[in-house]
Amino acid sequence: MLNTLLLSLVLACNDAPKDRGIDSTLIVAPVNTTTLTGKVLRFAKTLKGTPYKYGSANPGVGFDCSGFITYVFNHFRIDVPRSSVGFTNEGRPVALAEAQPGDLILFTGTDSTVRTVGHMGIITQVGNRIVFIHSTSGKAYGVTETPLDKYYMGRFVKIIRYI
């Protein structure tokens, strides 16, 4: 019992730097990232149907794509860039064939000839097809799950692992 108490005290006083946005000062015990990923995905899916609103990270008003990501990740105290282009050099790049649920998928904006990140989502399904959840200004106009189809493949930039 005394060893457990001492370990808890040492971990609670840890002033380790942030590692990929997860504030280690808030974590007293090791985190099972599979569990965290599952929680992130479950929470993200509760926001389906939230309308699209450019420049917003407020579920009461709506989300743009990066506002949605910001809101979801900040709910779990994970700091992320506020804009989609801010993710360009973040996380660990992952090959499309190695994508996992919870990975972030980055796309160009609607003009696919401009190869700058301008849209993003969270992968929710892999296997026969990749599906991602995002806030779109397109036909669905809000938070929805979308398969990675020909249209989005034309805009595909990369996948990153952030959790």
Cα gap 136→134, rounded to integer Å: 6
CA-based nearest residue to 89, from 149, 26, 156, 158:
158
- Sign of CA pseudo-dihedral 57, 62, 44, 142: negative
Could you list the active site residues? 65, 119, 134
pLDDT value of residue 7: 35
pTM beyond 0.85: the answer is no
pLDDT value of residue 139: 86
pLDDT value of residue 27: 39
For the segment 6-44, what is each residue's pLDDT rounded down to a tens digit? 333 333 444 333 444 444 444 344 445 569 999 999 999
Cα gap 119→110, rounded to integer Å: 8
HSE-CB of 102 using CA atoms within 13 angstroms: 17
For the segment 136-155, what is each residue's pLDDT rounded down to a tens digit? 998 899 999 999 999 999 99
Contact 18, 106 (CB under 8 A): no
pLDDT value of residue 32: 58
| Residue 125 reports pLDDT greater than 60 | yes
Segment 94-114 mean pLDDT: 96
For the segment 43-92, what is each residue's pLDDT rounded down to a tens digit? 999 999 999 999 999 999 999 999 999 999 999 999 999 999 999 999 99
Contact 47, 72 (CB under 8 A): yes
Contact 23, 77 (CB under 8 A): yes
Q: Report which of residues 2 and 53 the model is more confident about.
A: 53
